[in-house]
């Protein structure tokens, strides 16, 4: 009797092992199952469809560190404050000039460029023109509370004098605080938006949000604004949402 039970147990164990094609696949399956997203994270969050000013995880950036009323996630702000204190000691001033933007805010930026600034350009080309520097609503990392623009919105500012010193400081030190430049040079095959020396992201959180975005969001979710029909054709998710610095894609 005991032998029969043992034999049944053995068959079950072996069956369990070989139901996966290989040991590596088994481990991957387990890993995927173990990955848990934070409770507050849902599709509305990554699409910017929530009121961050009323979200308990968001905080107002102190006036001396920002150029206007700006909110960020509290963990991001804490890390930024630490970083800016050290920068200041080394003679570098860091000011946030844009932080969290929701769907409607991004829609205002998009609509202005679509219906006014670039209205003379045929639609398909117009979408691409806007996408040199601005996101479609629902696809902006600024929705997440982890991303910010620092000091200036022109690459040329960061290429000489004070701006160059600030940029060099960030390139050398920002990683120690969790911050990475998202839209680096396109020289080595990065797709999507043009280079932005001012846009930095707090990866300990934004890496999780990007993963969630890739898991849950599809082209049907990118809607409710003029020109949204071009999202799929222009491969917004593959080329733009994932058109980021390789260090970000590989971040663990
Ligand atoms: Zn930005």
pLDDT digits (tens, 9 = 90+) for 211-249: 999 999 999 999 999 999 999 999 999 999 999 999 999
The H or E element that residue 104 is part of is helix 103-112
Q: Give the distance (Å) from ligand 1 centre to CA of residue 32.
A: 31
Cα–Cα dist 65/157, whole Å? 19
Domains in the chain: boundaries: 1-36, 43-249
Are 230 and 135 within 8 A, CB to CB?
A: no
Reading the chain (252 residues) residue by residue, the pLDDT tens digits are: 556 555 554 444 444 444 444 444 444 444 445 568 999 999 999 999 999 999 999 999 999 999 999 999 999 999 999 999 999 999 999 999 999 999 999 999 999 999 999 999 999 999 999 999 999 999 999 999 999 999 999 999 999 999 999 999 999 999 999 999 999 999 999 999 999 999 999 999 999 999 999 999 999 999 999 999 999 999 999 999 999 999 999 998
- The alpha carbon of 242 and the centre of ligand 1 are apart by a number of angstroms equal to 15
* Ligand 1 centroid, distance to 15 Cα (angstroms): 51
Which runs of E-coded beta strand occur in the chain?
A: 58-60, 71-73, 96-98, 147-150, 179-181, 199-202
Mean pLDDT (the chain) is: 90
CATH of 43-249, one of 3.30.1380.10, 3.10.180.10, 3.40.50.970, 3.40.50.300: 3.30.1380.10
Q: What separation in Å is there between the alpha carbon of 162 and the centre of ligand 1?
A: 20
C-alpha pair distances (Å), 22 with each of 18, 19, 26, 27, 32: 7, 9, 6, 9, 16
Sheet (strand 179-181) strand order: 96-98, 147-150, 199-202, 179-181
What is the CA(198)–ligand 1 centre distance, in A? Answer: 7
**pLDDT score at 17:** 40
For residues 182 and 172, what is the distance between their CA atoms, to the nearest angstrom? Answer: 15
Strand partners, 69: none
């Amino acid at each position: 009797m005991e032998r029969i039970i043992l034999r049944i147990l053995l068959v079950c164990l072996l069956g369990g092992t070989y139901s996966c094609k290989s040991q590596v696949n088994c481990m991957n399956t387990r890993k995927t199952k173990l990955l848990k997203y934070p409770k507050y994270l849902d599709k509305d969050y990554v699409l910017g469809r929530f009121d961050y000013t009323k979200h308990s995880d968001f905080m107002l950036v102190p006036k001396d560190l920002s150029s206007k009323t700006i909110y960020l996630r509290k963990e991001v702000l804490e890390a930024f404050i630490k970083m800016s204190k050290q920068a200041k000691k080394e003679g570098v001033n860091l000011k946030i000039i844009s932080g969290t933007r929701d769907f409607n805010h991004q829609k205002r930026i998009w609509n202005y460029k679509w219906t006014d600034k670039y209205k003379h350009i045929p639609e398909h080309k117009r979408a691409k023109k806007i996408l040199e520097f601005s996101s479609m609503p629902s696809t902006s990392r600024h929705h997440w509370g982890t991303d910010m623009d620092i000091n200036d919105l022109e690459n040329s500012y960061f290429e000489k004098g004070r701006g160059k010193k600030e940029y060099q400081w960030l390139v050398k030190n920002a990683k120690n605080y969790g911050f990475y430049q998202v839209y680096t040079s396109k020289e080595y095959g990065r797709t999507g938006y043009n280079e932005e020396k001012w846009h930095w992201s707090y990866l300990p959180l934004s890496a999780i949000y990007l993963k969630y975005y890739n898991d849950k969001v599809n082209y049907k979710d990118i809607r409710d604004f003029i020109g949204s029909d071009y999202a799929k054709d222009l491969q917004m998710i593959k080329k733009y949402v994932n058109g980021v610095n390789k260090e970000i894609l590989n971040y663990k």
